[in-house]
Structure 1
């Protein structure tokens, strides 16, 4: 057995307990782009949901360092891994307090029972709480954790042992992700006893740096500082407010007027003006993301490879890059970004060829004037600054090869739910990497297990699945790279998606904001953030 060393970035619980609470200076308003579907992180997969819950209210056993990809201790101070790679023993942080709210007053500190509840609820469809409040866990299942975690056991008040069925080279990174937020077993029991288990999704209780106060859909979310937080140096705000507005230009105007101090996803056309404003700062980072087109292979005629090939080669990517990304994007040809290790640089796009695309459609029996639906996101995302414009350009591209394209959109939460259910023909979607491992792309987005989760193409290829599953149980990076590159080649040949662009991330904020770090995973984290008076 080897021991995972505690990273010295986080101070031990004993030292933290003796430190004075960092004096909060003021309030911060974050102009966010959409309403979360709820506050139970295990149920969701989008950054909008995670920003509002996992990154404010909750903690995980392991976590990512702010602004980086390194894993650091969270609610576990350290962990041991058995020599065979199948058993993980987590040593939990002592003295951590759950939030006290008008609807819940904890009688004990965080302990092993909370970890067991959190993971067992996701693992066991017969779990009493899950039966009382039936829900699915798309991320957990899409990453096959429901099949690979054999058991979760409490072996002491502050010790939990997880046993896997097979080696998972990215397990610690996986459980550092937002969906693995640790819930209160005591609060869950209170809700179960009172017959209100669904309130776990509307009235959250966590151990994180901010305490949930109120939520008005499409308007605002309010949080207060957690003055009992186990790392008091990270709580520097009295109040945090999410002001929700789907219009990027409105968000920018609010930022300029001082009505909010941080926003996100500005329109590319606004970037230069933001750079020149002395009251603002603009952080620019290469995007660890991908905007793509997903073809639902369960809908005819997209079940035919020739049809997907035709649609793919009829997309004028350069035109989209110029009009939609306006210099803030890089042409994508592969199913993940080039900064992800194991990326196959030999993969190339099929040449743009509308005439050949028309011939392929005819050979596949697709008649001139066939109507298809193209779903366009209602919000800006890091990987797609203007889905509506992209959809209109695709409507034109595919119209040139004889298709009649109807553009469809829904409110963001509804859009995600319906696409996960496979109601679309084709959808515009994308991804920002969550943990730096290739499986977070190739497994999470395109595997058979991810259907109903993040696999919006509903594509399931046994040969592909075999490759990515083999890669997960190998710990040698070179061996994993060979397998992942074979999988990338197969995915490119089968065309379940058309990669479009990797977008540059531009993060605008007030010049008074200090300590904000741009997450490579597209999260907005306000722990450790302050405002200079």
Structure 2
């Protein structure tokens, strides 16, 4: 039966592809680059997972389309107490949850759903979390598990969050995908029936599109939510993610009108795409960073001198020229220059393989020492060709006596194993999520983010004190000064080697209207329509 369903679904997508999609104005195919690990988005951090979950859910707050400003969503308004520790959210009335074959909601969205969503992440003894044990990397890496003192229902449409200490980025943080609101009623039904894992693979939300089905490495199908609380934002009847890991295949499908939107084109393809009158390519500076991360829990990478030597041996200019091909900017810092509080006084150590070789000898590293170098299997906005980058690094480090053995896994497995610290060195990157410096300096490099997005496994008390003091201040100038100190210290300790900030180029058919490129690298189809 499962094979019959798979064949039927693929035939459906093929038939849709054979007809020029522009003629079926209510259907949109998005050529995605990878398969999500699941749809219970609080568990995941990659852009692939976030894109797949985005159509399904809403949060209390959300980011304006194409921007970084926070606007109301499931909360219509909120107040903050004078001491900055209490947030009172007034919830939107009449919002309906989706239904599926196993679940039909008996009530509208209310405060109980907010309490379930956050208390599951806060309380390890929460019944649903006990039944379905999982971790919440964003939530913990930002310290929300420690800082949210309580989430209380004042009445069915009012929720009060109380914090232990001031968090200047709190409203931005809960606009992120991990804070998507789940149905408490659906969770109760799953718990009673012993099918708790369906929350991950049969998701229920309040978003503009209703999940229908998912075939790994093939497709995800959604339908427009006719009961969405903002009906003017639902202009597509069928949204299909066609999963293609090969960038050239995605571009071919775009040109043949087999998909209407895609992402992460190869730099070499851009001139032809921009010249095609049937297409549009939206270009903007990337709010991202591609970097090398050193696992400081592994020898000899626990030695600062070794990390300094490896950093010094990387010919970054050659890598940026070959990998990004004019669509990237050399990076020297742990976050992009478009982020407020960025310190442009930070400079790279000069490229010097001779000195690097001597430093490795002085540190007792033997000639021919082997280290694993993990390379991503997919294109990302911050790295269009991780395989080529890894090969160039392999050559650079061979010149200083290090044998780098290139390793790769399927994307979900790559992330899982990296978070577990199985690598020696890995290629990774980040696209900012909320416009706040803490989303870089806290989320990627703090002690709390080990096991989440801190792939270097680096934990330094001095660094942590700086970023904790910064996020606890409501004075932006004071925060900026603390973050600049943290950037300098990060540069000195070399848990990472920044490589590049890439330019984002988003190709789509000329018929697509209302698509906005997110500074956070998300692909959102709310409000998108097709020209007739």
Structure 1 length-normalised TM: 0.95
Query: How many Å separate the matches in 2 of 1:364 and 1:50?
Result: 42
**1: distance between equivalents of 2:161 and 2:93?**
19
Q: CA deviation at 1:368?
A: 0.2
Q: Flag structure 1 segments of 5+ consecutive residues without an equivalent.
A: 1-23
> Once the 2 structures are TM-superposed, how far is the Cα of residue 103 of structure 1 from its aligned partner?
2.0
Instruction: Check conservation: 1:433, 1:440, Cα contact below 8 A.
Output: yes
- 1:438: which partner in 2? 437
Cα distance, 1:100 vs structure 2: 1.7
Deviation per CA, 1:441-463: give whole Å up to 9, x if none.
00000000000000000000000
In the alignment, structure 1 residue 29 sits paired with structure 2 residue 29: yes
- 1:321 partnered with 2:320: yes
Partner of 2:487: 488
Counterpart-to-counterpart distance in 2, 1:101 and 1:52: 18
Q: 2:147 corresponds to which residue?
A: 148
Instruction: Give the match for residue 237 of structure 2.
Output: 238
Aligned positions of 1:74-223 closer than 5 A: 74-223=73-222
Residues 84-131 of structure 1: CA distance to partner in whole angstroms, max 9, x if unpaired? 000000000000000021121000000000000000000000000000
Tell me the number of residue pairs that the alignment of Structure 1 and Structure 2 aligns.
509
Does the 8 Å contact 1:80/1:90 carry over to 2? Answer: yes
SS for the counterpart of 1:80 is strand
In the aligned structure 2, how far is the partner of 1:41 from the partner of 1:87?
26
- For 1:31 and 1:102, the matched residues in 2 are separated by 27
- Residue 405 of structure 1 and its aligned partner are, at CA, apart by 0.8
Residue 71 of structure 1 corresponds to 70
Verify the 8 A CA contact 1:95 1:230 in the aligned structure 2: yes
Secondary structure of 1:103's aligned partner: coil
Counterparts of 2:165 and 2:102 in 1: how far apart (Å)?
41
Matches for 1:367-406 after TM superposition, within 5 Å: 367-406=366-405
Q: Secondary structure at the match of 1:452?
A: coil
Q: Does the CA-based 8 Å contact 1:25-1:236 persist in structure 2?
A: no
Corresponding residue number in structure 2 for 1:50? 50
Residue 305 (structure 2) aligns with? 306
Cα deviation, 1:229-255, whole Å, max 9, x if unaligned, reads 000000000000000010000000000
In the TM superposition, residue 25 of structure 1 has moved relative to its aligned partner by 3.9
Counterpart for residue 336 of structure 2:
337
Q: Corresponding residue for 1:471?
A: 470
Q: Which residue pairs with 1:414 in the alignment?
A: 413
RMSD over equivalenced CA pairs, Å: 0.6
Q: Which runs of 4+ in 1 moved over 3 A?
A: none
* 1:297-317 deviation line (CA, Å, top 9, x unaligned): 000000000000000010000
Tell me the equivalent position of 2:4: none
* Distance across 2 between alignment mates of 1:424 and 1:485: 29
CA distance in 2, matches of 1:207, 1:385: 34
Give 1:20's aligned residue.
none
